[in-house]
Amino acid sequence: MLTRREEITRLLESTEQPMTAQEICDILDLRKRSIVYEDIDHIARTVRNQGKEVIVKPASCGKCHYMFKVKDSAKAPTKCPKCRSEWILAPSFLIRMKK
């Protein structure tokens, strides 16, 4: 039986399209996205030792299309610094071999 982090890693390695924390929650039947964000932060450090990397498609504002910078933390922002909208399109993630 795989741990939750191993399941998330397997999902992110096998998917063709980047996955959001909410999509991961839906597939693995988890209740909180915050747990997935914490796990992705940990997974990013773990897979780095295996010659892999977590690729992040950054969050963006649904109103003005402002593209957030990729940070050290996987957490989604809550408000757009440009237009102050709270309509944020969540970041999505993949795991691939480093090039």
Total residue length of the chain: 99
Instruction: Tell me the DSSP string of 1-48.
Output: ---HHHHHHHHHHH-SS-EEHHHHHHHHT-S-HHHHHHHHHHHHHHHH
Distance from C-alpha of 89 to C-alpha of 70, rounded to nearest angstrom: 14
Distance from C-alpha of 84 to C-alpha of 35, rounded to nearest angstrom: 26
Per-residue pLDDT of the chain (99 residues; tens, 9 = 90+): 889 999 999 999 999 999 999 999 999 999 999 999 999 999 999 999 999 999 999 999 999 999 998 876 778 889 999 999 999 999 999 999 987
Where residue 52 sits, what CATH number does that domain have? 1.10.10
Its domain, for residue 90, covers: 4-97
pTM: 0.86
Residue 71 pLDDT: 76
Q: How many domains does the chain have?
A: 1
